[in-house]
């Protein structure tokens, strides 16, 4: 039995798509228009977690990378933390598994049920519902993804505690060409707190990376939703490789889920061809917070 008050995981892709199509196989769902894919979601044949395997700009440039040799547990756009001290991010030393249960397509997206399980355990630590949708918002200049997360506790479980490293949360591993000469900027112009090496933690409304995919400039921004239970702290790094993630400072302040008390987290991910201006990013951000349910 699932709790009547879920804490679910929702992904919403936002762009003016008049004819949204989806193609489902045993391992992936591809969402897009007749002529262009918008994203590829991988849920089957995954050892530890479902994730967005490919995410495209309006002109068809993929910006995410899956399982590079230096960090094979980095999977495109993924969500992972520690739950009750079980690690769902790194895939070593008996990690947890976001275990796929069911997936269905809707008129404009995907709904997936996932159980978060500890190694060698059948009973879930958390139940999750994950939804990807493509509403008609924006002017076509960017691909905009809105990610809403909710979980429910299994029957008889009174609480669950989220912890993790300083980079755990909603993470983006970029394609290799974006590792070179990338720069980060945030809405408020806040200076990040250096954590180690080039890693920084910065509290801001949004954070964006400016880089190139095979010589072509792109911008990827991540948005905080004002209804989130805490401010978003952005993890960014530009040393050995480029990475960005939306965190809740789980490493400093664990987040507890109590029975009957749902928690909702909302984030946006926007992708432009070219280097977007602050005005471009702020405008899309305002559209997003107005449209996000």
Asked which of 66-80, 123-137, 151-165 is least confident by mean pLDDT, the reply is: 123-137
Segment 151-169 shows an average pLDDT of 95
Q: Would you state the pLDDT for residue 36? A: 84
Distance of CA 229 to the CA centre of its chain: 17
Give whole-number Cα distances, 174 to 50, 54, 56, 137, in Å: 17, 10, 12, 25
The pLDDT value recorded for residue 144 is 82
Whether residue 284 is contained in a domain is answered as yes
Which CATH number do you get for residue 239? 2.70.98
Q: Is residue 3 part of a domain?
A: no
- Domain range holding 227? 8-291
Q: How many domains does the chain have?
A: 1
Residue 2 located in a structural domain = no
Give 199-209 pLDDT, tens digit per residue: 999 999 999 99
pLDDT of residue 109: 79
More confident residue, 24 or 8: 24
What pLDDT band is residue 17 in, cutting at 50, 70 and 90? very low
Q: Which phi-psi region, left, alpha or beta, contains residue 260 (left: φ > 0; alpha: ψ -120 to 50)?
A: left
pLDDT for res 252: 96
Output the pLDDT for position 292: 61
Residue 128 lies in a domain: yes
Domain assignment of residue 56, yes or no:
yes
Strand partners, 200: 194, 236
pLDDT, mean of residues 59-72: 97
pLDDT at 130: 85
Taking the complete model, does pTM exceed 0.75, yes or no? yes
- Average pLDDT value over all residues in the chain: 89
Tell me whether residue 123 is in a domain. Answer: yes
| Residues constituting the chain | 293
Q: Give the residue with greater pLDDT, 58 vs 5.
A: 58
The answer, yes or no, to whether residue 107 has pLDDT greater than 50, is yes
pLDDT interval class at 279 (50, 70, 90): very high
Mean pLDDT confidence for 238-253: 95
Q: Residues 22-52: pLDDT tens digits?
A: 899 999 999 887 778 899 999 999 999 999 9
Assess whether pLDDT exceeds 90 at residue 187: yes
- Residues 152 and 2 sit within 8 Å (Cβ to Cβ): yes
Q: Is residue 1 part of a domain?
A: no
31 contacts 188 by C-beta, under 8 angstroms: no
Residue 118 lies in a domain: yes
215: left (phi over 0), alpha (psi -120 to 50) or beta: left
């Amino acid at each position: 039995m699932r709790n009547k008050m879920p804490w679910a995981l929702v992904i919403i892709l936002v762009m003016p798509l008049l004819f949204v199509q989806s193609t489902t196989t045993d391992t992936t769902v591809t969402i897009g228009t007749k002529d262009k894919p918008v994203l590829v979601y991988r849920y089957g044949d995954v050892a530890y977690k479902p994730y967005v395997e490919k995410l495209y700009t309006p002109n068809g440039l993929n910006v995410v990378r899956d399982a590079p040799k230096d960090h094979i547990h980095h999977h495109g756009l993924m969500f992972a933390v520690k739950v009750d001290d079980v690690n769902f991010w790194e895939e070593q030393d008996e990690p947890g598994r976001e275990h796929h249960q069911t997936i269905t397509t809707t008129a404009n997206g995907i709904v997936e049920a996932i159980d978060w399980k500890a190694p060698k355990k059948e009973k879930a630590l958390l139940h999750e519902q994950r939804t990807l949708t493509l509403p008609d918002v924006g002017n076509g200049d960017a691909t905009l993804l809105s990610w809403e997360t909710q979980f429910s506790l299994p029957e008889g479980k009174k609480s669950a505690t989220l912890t993790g490293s300083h980079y755990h949360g909603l993470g983006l591993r970029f394609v290799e060409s974006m590792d070179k000469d990338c720069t980060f900027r945030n809405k408020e112009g806040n200076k990040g707190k250096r954590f180690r090496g080039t890693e920084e933690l910065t509290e801001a409304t949004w954070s964006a990376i400016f880089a190139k995919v095979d010589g072509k400039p792109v911008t990827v921004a991540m948005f905080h939703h004002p209804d989130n239970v805490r401010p978003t702290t952005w993890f960014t790094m530009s040393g050995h490789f480029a990475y960005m993630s939306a965190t809740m400072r789980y490493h400093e302040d664990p987040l507890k889920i109590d029975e009957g008390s749902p928690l909702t987290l909302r984030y946006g991910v926007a992708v432009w061809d070219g280097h977007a201006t602050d005005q471009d990013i702020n405008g899309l951000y305002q559209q997003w917070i107005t449209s996000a349910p």
